[in-house]
Structure 1
């Protein structure tokens, strides 16, 4: 039997949209209360930020594939693919939206501003595609949310820890004034949509046991 993938409850998507709407009105007020630019943060802050760094999840996926018995390879590969694909596509989607929306970072212009950052030459200017000074949505937060959701949907018991860690990564981006609250909540919405599409695609390729392997080899927890 294939690994069970938990559905995303509708209330999660609805709650995320409501939080995004609220955050849009609170962006400036919240950011103004964050530590000043140049503040030094500790190791735990940097640990959480690493969850939004895509290579982190590439290594996690590789470790997942290489761990355990050879008979579990297909199940582990499917899980690794979901984690890496969801994190990658969530981050990529966020970066694409960032250069389309063109919302300036908190350090540029008035707090909470939505005035697009325009460049001479528009789309033809190579710098147009550089999202370094743009913030909506957050690429780091999208990667962290995407990986956390993919893991949580396969191992439901990990959901509280994984989502809390991803929230910590998102909060860190706001704390350093790199993003607004609405940026990181929008990243969560992006990750939810990407996870839905990725899992829908992966389900078309059911896990099959290698030749000569027992079903219990793929899922030892179902063995008698």
Structure 2
């Protein structure tokens, strides 16, 4: 029995507790290294390089709008309904991940590390309550990238390590730019992956999802 099938057989309470524990682990354990990574990982010119810009656009939603169009055009000759579904999944997963990320930023309200020399500072709710500008947790670029690239790993599993390498690369550039703590990136990674996994499990038949 696969892990996914075994997980699905568990009670809702067990599944929720497991999901919460894993998610918090991806936030709280890496947070122990936030200041160290900030002090030792830095490349202010990361987005002045071609590889840095390449990795950053993995977290830009229009990238995946273009990719989804390509997937649809490639697959529609064989099974138009499946092609439409796959294209919508590739558009919808990073979009939903990005929306959830913005809500979490407004809730958690931790500011970008570069603003406070690596210190963890939280913005008061009375201070620009509906603006995510300058907020860091979780990393929106990373969460969008994982929402998209984890879906790519489902759609094209033989190349899954390439997709995940691109997603992690996007997150690394956010740390090198001092825009995010390492825990912002790891938290975003697990959440983005979970969005893609949830959409895949919901919309793809079990025979195909296995």
Deviations 1:159-205 (A, max 9, x none): 11000011000100000001011001101121132123212331379
Following the alignment from structure 1 to structure 2, what is the Cα–Cα distance between the partners of residues 39 and 145?
20
1:16–1:188 Cα contact (<8 Å) kept: no
Q: Give 1:49's match in structure 2, choosing from 42, 45, 56.
A: 56
Relative to 1, partners in 2 of residues 1:191 and 1:9: Cα closer, same or farther, differing over 3 Å?
farther
Relative to 1, partners in 2 of residues 1:40 and 1:95: Cα closer, same or farther, differing over 3 Å?
closer
> Which residue number corresponds to residue 154 of structure 1?
155
- Unaligned ranges ≥5, structure 2: 8-18
Relative to 1, partners in 2 of residues 1:51 and 1:36: Cα closer, same or farther, differing over 3 Å?
closer
> Which residue number corresponds to residue 112 of structure 2?
105
Q: How far off is 1:100 after superposition?
A: 0.8
SS at match of 1:51: helix
Spell out the pairing of 1:1-224 with structure 2 (5 A cutoff): 7=4, 18-35=25-42, 37=44, 41-68=48-75, 70-113=77-120, 115-118=121-124, 122=126, 127-203=128-204
Q: How far off is 1:17 after superposition?
A: 5.3
1:7–1:153 Cα contact (<8 Å) kept: no
- Work out the number of aligned pairs and report it: 194
Following the alignment from structure 2 to structure 1, what is the Cα–Cα distance between the partners of residues 77 and 117?
56
2:111–2:123 Cα contact (<8 Å) kept: yes
Relative to 1, partners in 2 of residues 1:155 and 1:7: Cα closer, same or farther, differing over 3 Å?
farther
Relative to 1, partners in 2 of residues 1:9 and 1:172: Cα closer, same or farther, differing over 3 Å?
farther
Higher relative contact order (CA 8 A, sep 6+): 1
SS at match of 1:172: helix
Q: How far off is 1:99 after superposition?
A: 1.1
SS at match of 2:129: helix
Following the alignment from structure 2 to structure 1, what is the Cα–Cα distance between the partners of residues 114 and 37?
14
Q: How far off is 1:206 after superposition?
A: 9.8
- Using the size of structure 2 for normalisation, the TM-score is 0.80
Relative to 1, partners in 2 of residues 1:69 and 1:133: Cα closer, same or farther, differing over 3 Å?
closer
CA RMSD after TM alignment: 2.9
Q: How far off is 1:20 after superposition?
A: 3.4
